Structure 1
Amino acid sequence: MAIPSFVDRVTLHVYGGKGGNGCASVHREKFKPLGGPDGGNGGGGGSVILRVDTNLTTLVDYYRESHRKADNGVPGRGDHANGATGADVVLPVPAGTLVTDADSGEVLADLTGEGTEIVVATGGRGGLGNAALASAARKAPGFALLGEDGETRTITLELKLVADIGLVGFPSAGKSSLIAAISRARPKIADYPFTTLVPNLGVIVAGDITYTVADVPGLIEGASEGRGLGLEFLRHIERCAALVHVIDCATFEPGRDPLTDLDVIEGELSAHGGLADRPRMVALNKIDIPDAAELADLVTADLEARGLRVFRVSTKSGAGLRELTYAMAELAKQRAAAPEPAPARPVLRPKPVGGGDFTIKRESELWRVRGEKPERWIRQTDFGNAEAVGYLADRLNRLGIETKLLELGAVPGEGVAIGGDNAVVFDFAPGIDAGAEILSRRGEDHRLEEERPAARRRRAKDEEYHRTKSEEEEVR
């Protein structure tokens, strides 16, 4: 299967990097084998970022490779060594790329200016090492927190060409020939009654004005309803400041004439919507053919009566092209001089203070706890470590989950699930400290307070020496 060279719509799967795990380590050196916790924090995972590159005109790279993942964070190490942050993945996209969440349909961003960017998949947080978890009440944690998974998202990228002037018209009306004649664009051109398969973008210099022109293919009767390829390409004219109807005055197809062609294309533009305010001009093409030149003379007055500026052109001989390019330059200049619309002001909706950290709902056989904090704490917990589980229990209790469950009527032994599909379920046991049977203080490894036999003997010997010296001084 051949891969197309122009792609304007893709589905992309993006994955933020996983955060590195924190390290549970104890400082050790000569004569001080248990010197306290020194485990470093894990590094955060990298993020996936979309950034506008105006040199690009297609999304074909993401058609070829539709899964992109950022680097994971590096785990922490002993001796207070924090792990490195995972590298971000920056994905260049053309100007005019619309970014949509494929699952919810929410528009995430409309990327237009050079360098504009958006983070589409955030990397996970790195876990804290046991050095960062130490406190006055918990001097010697024997555990660390796990790094969090990065954000996973499926997005849709949809390209809408950014051009000053859009060329519209029937297939074989000469749009591709026109853009090749007035710019350095070199589209594939042939004399066939089928549409060009890709839009073409050209840069034109007229005097001191430089502007861009897009040849928008696919417009036939019924294009706005999905006939042919028109529905795929109509969106490319949405960003154009003005439209130029390129009309074939030399067509031999029955039922075709310049006025009818104009009405058909205008009907499709109207059905697509949102283009009524764009200035229009008409280019009557192929006047190098005598019959076409005669037909152009006949319809010019009717077109001008509709309020349209009309240009008689030939892409083969070059007749009328200079006048047309300067007229398009004036429209592009008007667009550049028009004031930019005021940016939409963001609406800040702060979260409510108090009571907003979690919610609890009764389901058929258990209680369901949802909330950013408790669900994040669950992901950070190593359930193979009893101290870590005890630390989690303390955090949940301080948040008020146990108290709230009792208020709602929960009884010991009922199931409590924290999270959604991948929830952690445990039996409700109010007032019981997790891990209390093995720990003197929850979340503290009291082994760090113990001394090895050699250290104990050395300390006893020092104490005996100082006691003897004190007794000798008293005798003197």
Structure 2
Amino acid sequence: MASRFVDRAVIHVTAGNGGNGCASVHREKFKPLGGPDGGNGGHGGDVLLVVDPGVHTLLDFHFRPHARAGNGKQGQGGNRSGAAGEPLELRVPDGTVVLDEDGAVLADLVGAGTTFVAAKGGRGGLGNAALASRARKAPGFALLGEPGESRDLVLELRSVADVGLVGFPSAGKSSLISVLSAARPKIADYPFTTLVPNLGVVTAGDTVFTMADVPGLIPGASEGKGLGLDFLRHIERCAVLVHVVDCATYEPGRDPVSDVDAIEDELARYTPALGGELAERPRVIVLNKVDVPDAADLADLVRPEFEARGLRVFEVSTVAHRGLRELTFALGEIVEGYRAAQPPPTPTKIVLRPEPVDDSGFTVEADPDEPGGFVVRGARPERWVRQTNFANDEAVGYLADRLNRLGVEDELARRGAVPGSPVTIGDMTFEWEPSTPAGTAAQLSGRGNDTRLEQRTRVSAAERKEARRIRREGEPEDEPAPGAERQPRAESGEDTGE
């Protein structure tokens, strides 16, 4: 079975979900309610794209487009946190470009080991031990794990080559790369013989560079005709573009000058997604098949016109191995000059972008679908809603307290919200009930408190001291003399036994 080359694939990646936190209370003999000891849930695993020099195609993603990382484990009692989910590493070729569904470039993966986080794993939920505070000493709830990120990404392979060979089908590009390097592409005398880009390594003295044979271009390639649209991306990284012109063609209406102009028109219409203009890359003209007498005469005729445009022209024959050495060293010189002009590589810097101190972290807008309703957007409020177990009243009260401290209730009141107004945060819609009624300086109700700890039966030291003082002050002032008999006192209506 022949191997397949795939340079574009659509993948669906899903990171692991975070594990739920644990709501547990320490239990020991003679120690009821010994304190919260629920552990945190583990974080979900990330989906990573890693450049592997041993991978040369996106074929694996063509057959297996779905990828999912491991989920985090749930926390347990005894302050035992759940295990983190296993990250998933996807190996991609060098030169892979990651795009979103809208075609925007997210990452350009060049260099062995380069890593991109395709999907971020969800956070693990906090256990009740981490949620304990002075006001909430033993929370009866825990936070839920956050779902992992799910994305649809487009992977495109753009060959990392120094020299790109462009030209009409059957111009001799594959034959040229076969005699200049150790590449052995399939060669035949019919159009579109080359169906995949071929890469070859060329040595010119002390200079070593790579050469890419791009499948033949035809007029209209930038609009999807022929094979050009799928493979134009492979020339985006090239330092120099080489026009391979067939001087021995027998097709009517074609000549070397018109062929080069047609290819240049297609290159001008193609907009590289990585930025930059192909018009800025140096050009070299290769007049091929000059071993044919008529082709040699035609090359002598068109050579002055190309040189008048400032282009370097080489007459070569892949069959007779004519002019190849001069071409090789000329390309090596251009590549060396291009490499010297590039800025030196710098190590990746870690950039910290702190949030502004006056950034509230949320916005409140009128709900276009609900009259009198409001929509709260923000990373923190939406994450808090996802991590709340709405079947637990105490957890809902904790969410309300967090939103109030963040300023959501004040902003809702300022925007005209009234009790009962529908408020949407993330996927949850609920009726707004303010903690502090308007115009009343009321204290917060403490909806997140654990009522179990409010049932105190133990007498404090201050209460015992006060009871002892009251007993001392209540004793009679006249004490009987030592040795005197105490006469029993009869209660009213009680028989003394006399």
Task: Measure the CA separation in 2 of the matches of 1:340 and 1:111.
Answer: 18
Q: Which residue of 2 aligns with 1:71?
A: 70
- 1:443 equivalent among 436, 443, 448: 448
Of 374-383 and 288-297, more deviation after overlay is shown by 288-297
Code of the residue aligned with 1:44 in structure 2: it is H
Give how far 1:211 is off: 0.5
Q: Which residue of 1 aligns with 2:255?
A: 257
Say if 1:72 and 1:347 are closer, same or farther in 2 by CA, change over 3 A.
closer
Q: Which residue of 2 aligns with 1:436?
A: none
Matched, 1:44 2:51: no
Secondary structure, aligned partner of 2:329 = helix
Q: Which residue of 2 aligns with 1:226?
A: 224
Task: Measure the CA separation in 1 of the matches of 2:222 and 2:357.
Answer: 50
Listed one character per residue, the Cα deviations across residues 199-233 of structure 1 (whole Å, up to 9, x for unaligned) are 11111122221100011113112222332121222
- 2:429 equivalent among 419, 425, 430: 425
Q: Which residue of 1 aligns with 2:373?
A: 366
Secondary structure, aligned partner of 2:55 = coil
Code of the residue aligned with 1:191 in structure 2: it is D
Code of the residue aligned with 2:406 in structure 1: it is L
Q: Which residue of 1 aligns with 2:316?
A: 313
- Indicate if the aligned counterparts of 2:41 and 2:126 stay in contact, CA closer than 8 A: yes
Say if 1:394 and 1:305 are closer, same or farther in 2 by CA, change over 3 A.
closer
Runs of at least 4 residues of structure 1 off by over 6 A?
341-349, 448-452
Larger Rg: 2
Matched, 1:268 2:246: no
Task: Measure the CA separation in 1 of the matches of 2:2 and 2:366.
Answer: 52
Give how far 1:32 is off: 3.2
Task: Measure the CA separation in 2 of the matches of 1:382 and 1:206.
Answer: 68
| 1:42-441 mapped onto 2 (5 Å cutoff) | 42-103=41-102, 105-194=103-192, 196-272=194-270, 274-340=277-343, 351-354=355-358, 356-363=360-367, 364-419=371-426, 422=427, 424-431=428-435
Task: Measure the CA separation in 2 of the matches of 1:285 and 1:311.
Answer: 8
Say if 1:230 and 1:346 are closer, same or farther in 2 by CA, change over 3 A.
farther
Secondary structure, aligned partner of 1:124 = coil
Say if 1:245 and 1:406 are closer, same or farther in 2 by CA, change over 3 A.
closer
Listed one character per residue, the Cα deviations across residues 427-456 of structure 1 (whole Å, up to 9, x for unaligned) are 2222389xxxxxx9643444468799xxx9
- Indicate if the aligned counterparts of 1:218 and 1:233 stay in contact, CA closer than 8 A: no
Matched, 1:29 2:32: no
Task: Measure the CA separation in 1 of the matches of 2:320 and 2:20.
Answer: 70
Task: Measure the CA separation in 2 of the matches of 1:72 and 1:86.
Answer: 5
Q: In the comparison of the two structures, how many residue pairs are matched? A: 443
Task: Measure the CA separation in 2 of the matches of 1:112 and 1:36.
Answer: 53
Secondary structure, aligned partner of 1:149 = coil
Say if 1:33 and 1:260 are closer, same or farther in 2 by CA, change over 3 A.
same
Of 327-336 and 424-433, more deviation after overlay is shown by 424-433
Code of the residue aligned with 1:324 in structure 2: it is L
Task: Measure the CA separation in 2 of the matches of 1:407 and 1:169.
Answer: 66
Q: TM-score, normalised by structure 2?
A: 0.81
Task: Measure the CA separation in 1 of the matches of 2:349 and 2:36.
Answer: 48
Listed one character per residue, the Cα deviations across residues 363-404 of structure 1 (whole Å, up to 9, x for unaligned) are 314222222222111111111112211211221222222233
Task: Measure the CA separation in 1 of the matches of 2:256 and 2:402.
Answer: 76
Task: Measure the CA separation in 1 of the matches of 2:359 and 2:249.
Answer: 72
Say if 1:244 and 1:361 are closer, same or farther in 2 by CA, change over 3 A.
closer
Task: Measure the CA separation in 2 of the matches of 1:260 and 1:430.
Answer: 76
Say if 1:262 and 1:401 are closer, same or farther in 2 by CA, change over 3 A.
closer
Q: TM-score, normalised by structure 1?
A: 0.85
- Indicate if the aligned counterparts of 1:4 and 1:60 stay in contact, CA closer than 8 A: no
Secondary structure, aligned partner of 1:276 = helix
Root-mean-square deviation (CA, aligned residues, Å) is 3.0
Unaligned runs of 5+ in 1: 434-439, 457-476
- Indicate if the aligned counterparts of 1:204 and 1:212 stay in contact, CA closer than 8 A: yes
Code of the residue aligned with 1:250 in structure 2: it is A
Of 224-233 and 207-216, more deviation after overlay is shown by 224-233
Task: Measure the CA separation in 2 of the matches of 1:223 and 1:415.
Answer: 54
Task: Measure the CA separation in 2 of the matches of 1:4 and 1:411.
Answer: 67
- Indicate if the aligned counterparts of 1:3 and 1:64 stay in contact, CA closer than 8 A: no
Matched, 1:5 2:8: no
- Indicate if the aligned counterparts of 1:281 and 1:310 stay in contact, CA closer than 8 A: yes
Q: Which residue of 2 aligns with 1:437?
A: none
Listed one character per residue, the Cα deviations across residues 254-298 of structure 1 (whole Å, up to 9, x for unaligned) are 122223322222232233362222222222222333433343344
- Indicate if the aligned counterparts of 1:36 and 1:448 stay in contact, CA closer than 8 A: no
Q: Which residue of 2 aligns with 1:459?
A: none
Task: Measure the CA separation in 1 of the matches of 2:422 and 2:255.
Answer: 76
- Indicate if the aligned counterparts of 1:124 and 1:147 stay in contact, CA closer than 8 A: yes
Q: Identity over aligned residues, as a percent?
A: 63
- Indicate if the aligned counterparts of 2:170 and 2:216 stay in contact, CA closer than 8 A: no
Task: Measure the CA separation in 2 of the matches of 1:126 and 1:19.
Answer: 4
Secondary structure, aligned partner of 1:155 = strand
Say if 1:32 and 1:449 are closer, same or farther in 2 by CA, change over 3 A.
farther
Code of the residue aligned with 1:311 in structure 2: it is F
Q: Which residue of 2 aligns with 1:471?
A: none
Q: Which residue of 2 aligns with 1:466?
A: none
Task: Measure the CA separation in 1 of the matches of 2:50 and 2:99.
Answer: 15
- Indicate if the aligned counterparts of 1:124 and 1:150 stay in contact, CA closer than 8 A: yes
Unaligned runs of 5+ in 2: 272-276, 438-444, 459-498
Task: Measure the CA separation in 1 of the matches of 2:139 and 2:2.
Answer: 56
Listed one character per residue, the Cα deviations across residues 329-368 of structure 1 (whole Å, up to 9, x for unaligned) are 1111112211328999999876443462322223314222
Say if 1:355 and 1:321 are closer, same or farther in 2 by CA, change over 3 A.
closer
Code of the residue aligned with 2:131 in structure 1: it is L
Say if 1:295 and 1:19 are closer, same or farther in 2 by CA, change over 3 A.
same
Code of the residue aligned with 2:357 in structure 1: it is V
